[in-house]
């Protein structure tokens, strides 16, 4: 029997191997060809989230030799700069297309100059092992809160020192809805987007003995992302 909402993951996998892959590859790329105003805005917002994540990580000390799990790595926007900092990066994504693209970009960007991230096709729920740091950026948006709790608990169980998560905060619900309405006047081209309240995320962390230690927020016109760092409560 399929668990409640279990079909969501298949839809997400399918989307990020096909239309979603094409769309996000473009948004997370460098070329402006065929990139519309909204996509450009999202690119800028996302780049800021990556930048803030790296700053938050470095705030805890240099990254050289630090093991980092980048769960839901997409095209490698975070994994690549982390590898450049000398981190030992394990990057994974549910989408094989994303992983192949990330691998390409990493080879191109890093060459022999840094230890390449180790890439793997895997949904984050199946990830095993222990890492100093676990990061999961802009993935929770694909999961309703009842699924997000389990994901958060699992990610925390992989992390020894800290977990960084970003998600679309529910406080921006109406503005996002309005903008999505402007974005998709016809039949929606996207998968469902789930916003999360910070309290719910905090509760999910508390349930497994973790607490939020740092907070950041990026908002542009079409992009909203709350970034948190969590650590074991004692």
Q: What token pair was written down for 18?
A: 């096909």
Q: What token pair was written down for 158?
A: 């992989």
Residue 103 binds ligand SAM (CB under 6 A):
no
Phi, psi (deg, nearest 5) at residue 19:
-60, -40
Q: How far is 207 from 9, CA to CA, in rounded Å?
A: 24
Stretch that binds ligand SAM, among 33-41, 68-76, 154-162, 182-190 (CB under 6 A): 68-76
Q: How far is 42 from 28, CA to CA, in rounded Å?
A: 9
Nearer Cβ to ligand SAM (66/141): 141
Residue 81 binds ligand SAM (CB under 6 A):
no
Length reported for the chain: 234
Nearer Cβ to ligand SAM (93/229): 93
Looking at 68, 114, 137, 205, which residue binds ligand SAM (CB under 6 A)? 137
Looking at 56, 124, 163, 201, which residue binds ligand SAM (CB under 6 A)? 124
Which run of H or of E encompasses 169?
none
List the one residue out of 164, 140, 157 whose CA is nearest residue 68.
164
Q: How far is 84 from 15, CA to CA, in rounded Å?
A: 30
> Closest-CB residue for ligand SAM?
74
Residue 101 binds ligand SAM (CB under 6 A):
no
Smallest gap, in angstroms, from Cβ of residue 178 to ligand SAM? Answer: 21
Q: Do residues 182 and 222 lie in contact, with contact meaning Cβ atoms separated by under 8 Å?
A: no
Residue 94 binds ligand SAM (CB under 6 A):
yes
Binding site for ligand SAM (CB under 6 A): 9, 12, 16, 24, 28, 72-74, 77-78, 93-95, 98, 123-124, 137-139, 142
């Amino acid at each position: 029997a399929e668990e409640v909402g279990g079909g969501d993951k298949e839809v997400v996998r399918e989307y990020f191997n096909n239309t979603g892959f094409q769309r996000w590859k473009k948004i997370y790329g460098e070329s402006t060809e065929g990139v519309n105003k909204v996509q450009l805005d999202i690119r800028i917002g996302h780049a800021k989230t990556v930048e803030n994540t790296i700053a938050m990580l470095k705030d805890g000390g240099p990254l050289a030799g630090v093991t980092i799990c980048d769960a839901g790595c997409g095209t490698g926007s975070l994994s690549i700069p982390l590898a450049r900092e000398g981190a030992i990066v394990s990057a994974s994504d549910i989408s094989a297309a994303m992983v192949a693209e990330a691998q390409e970009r990493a080879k191109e960007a890093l060459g022999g100059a840094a230890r390449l991230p180790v890439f793997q096709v895997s949904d984050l729920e199946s990830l095993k092992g222990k890492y100093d740091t676990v990061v999961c950026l802009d993935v929770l948006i694909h999961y309703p809160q009842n699924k997000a709790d389990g994901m958060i608990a699992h990610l925390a169980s992989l992390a020894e020192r800290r977990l960084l998560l970003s998600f679309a905060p529910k406080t921006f619900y109406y503005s996002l809805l309005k903008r999505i309405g402007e974005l998709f006047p016809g039949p929606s081209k996207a998968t469902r987007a789930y916003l999360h309240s910070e309290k719910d995320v905090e509760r999910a962390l508390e349930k497994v003995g973790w607490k939020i230690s740092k907070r950041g927020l990026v908002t542009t016109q079409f992009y909203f992302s709350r970034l948190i760092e969590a650590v074991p409560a004692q």
